[in-house]
Amino acid sequence: MATMATTAITGARVFDGEKHLGVRTVVLDGPKIRQVGGDVPDGAEVVDGRGATLLPGLIDAHVHSAPGSRALALRFGVTTELEMQGLNTRENRALAAEDDTVADIRSAGFAITPPGGHPSELMPEGFRPAGDLPPVMPLMPFSTTPEEAAAFVPQLLARGSDYIKFMIDDGSVEGHPGLPMLDQATLNAGVAEAKKHGALTVAHTLTLDATRMAAEAGVDGVVHVFMDRPHTAEIVDLVAGAGMFVVPCVCLDASMMGITGSDLADDPRVARRLDVKWAETLRASYDRYPQGKLEDVLETVRALDAAGVDILAGTDASMAETFFGGLAHGASLHRELRYLVAAGLTPARALRAATATTARRFGLGDRGRVAEGLRADLLLVDGDPTADIDDSLNTRAIWRRGTRFEES
């Protein structure tokens, strides 16, 4: 890693997270963006950005961390990950926040779900994830009543959860129908309590009915798009009318349908950044819902976007294990951008979904845009991904808090 007091990136087209600014000089001063436009300051280290586009560092709005996963994410220009179930609550991430060799992270902690509910069915018998135990073990908010769900919310927030997640899943998509599932009253009570504390709420919803439950409860956003049936005008209107955001995780839905990430793993821009274990994982798939239709999912995303719903880019990347296959941290976010474009978003709108829109919806006011005073989390890529989204993988340089990432 190479740290520079003042760096000027010159000659690059700048996409600020919302729109193209044209060719501008962007000056980094330590961990912050000092200026956008203007002249190169005396004594600045100059990075020639001609032929390239400068973007905000990307944000993956749905991950689950694993050993080495945040370092892998940063190698692909993902400077922030939003963990939707995991260990990286405030107490456990203090050191990582200052570590410019890995992506920054925010976390829900563990989601409110009944005992034996999702995601317990995903783990093979006897499986134990690798890695050391964290200094502070997570709170396991198993809830079966409205009173239990409401009581766990302030405990989760006190333990460092950045937002509150609810699992709404009967197991039907995962091949385990009949899983214990939160009922509407329990969900409503948990969401209402979170609102009392001013906390953002998200929900895991793989079915249309679960999505309806989330909307009726007042959840701020769902972190999957349903995959069990085509969309209806009623559900699109319900989500849009509720002001919810949606993190489609199309690449997860594709994996659930048995579609592997082999073609992504074969891309030399990806292959050189993956170790053997992650390459094997990317080449596999969940393959739990082969009857699903990817075109239905894309049509749903298209309809939600057309209705004005905020679409956020996320992957559901997890561990380097083939039973979580088809996904890899960092790499799969670029695949998700391609899926969003296939669903009808322009490349610029897809890039917003991985930068400014996610930062806005998750209250990350210090990142997600190229603007003066914000974190110098930046990605410089050859070409113009606002015209051809495939260019997002043409990495020329990455900065996290003004520190340039150097491939080892």
Largest separation between any pair of C-alpha atoms in the chain: 66
- Rounded average pLDDT over 124-147: 78
The reply to whether 256 and 336 lie within a common domain is: yes
Identity of the amino acid at 187: L
Q: How many CB atoms lie within 10 A of CB 50?
A: 9
Residues 200 and 307 placed together within one structural domain of the fold: yes
Name 282's Cβ contacts closer than 8 Å, sequence gap at least 6.
260, 261, 262, 264, 265, 270, 274, 325, 326, 327, 328, 331, 332
**pLDDT number for residue 388:** 98
Distance between CA 87 and CA 280 in Å, rounded?
25
| Tens digits of residue pLDDT in 155-205 | 999 999 999 999 999 999 998 999 999 999 999 999 999 999 999 999 999
Q: Are residues 35 and 168 in the same domain?
A: no
Q: What is the DSSP letter of 6?
A: E
Preceding peptide of 119 cis, ω within 30°? yes
How far is it, in rounded angstroms, from Cα 155 to Cα 141? 9
User: Is 47 in the same domain as 167?
Assistant: no
CATH number at residue 378: 2.30.40.10
Mean pLDDT of the chain: 95
Q: Give me the number of domains the chain comprises.
A: 2
Single out the residue of 312, 357, 219 nearest to residue 211, CA to CA.
219
Listing DSSP states for 123-171 in one string gives SPTT----SPPPSSPPP--B-SSHHHHHHHHHHHHHTT-SSEEEEE--S
How confident is the model over 15-73, as pLDDT tens digits?
Answer: 999 999 999 999 999 999 999 999 999 999 999 999 999 999 999 999 999 999 999 99
Q: pLDDT tens for residues 290-339?
A: 999 999 999 999 999 999 999 999 999 999 999 999 999 999 999 999 99
Domain that holds residue 9: 1-56+367-407
Those residues with Cβ within 8 angstroms of residue 336's Cβ, 6 or more apart along the chain or in another chain: 248, 249, 250, 251, 313, 314, 315, 354
- What are the residues facing 399 on neighbouring strands? 378, 404
Single-letter amino acid code for the residue at 196: K
Q: Note whether 126 and 116 are same-domain residues.
A: yes
The pLDDT of 222-244, averaged and rounded, is 98
- Residue 193: is it exposed, middle or buried by C-beta count within 10 angstroms (0-12/13-18/19+)? buried
Does one domain contain both 265 and 229? Answer: yes
Number of H helices, E strands in the chain: 14, 19
Mean pLDDT calculated for residue range 224-242: 98
* 299/375 same-domain check: no
- Whether 226 and 86 share a structural domain: yes
**3 — pLDDT class (breaks 50, 70, 90):** very low
| Judgement on whether residues 71 and 174 belong to the same structural domain of the protein | yes
Does the global pTM surpass 0.75? yes
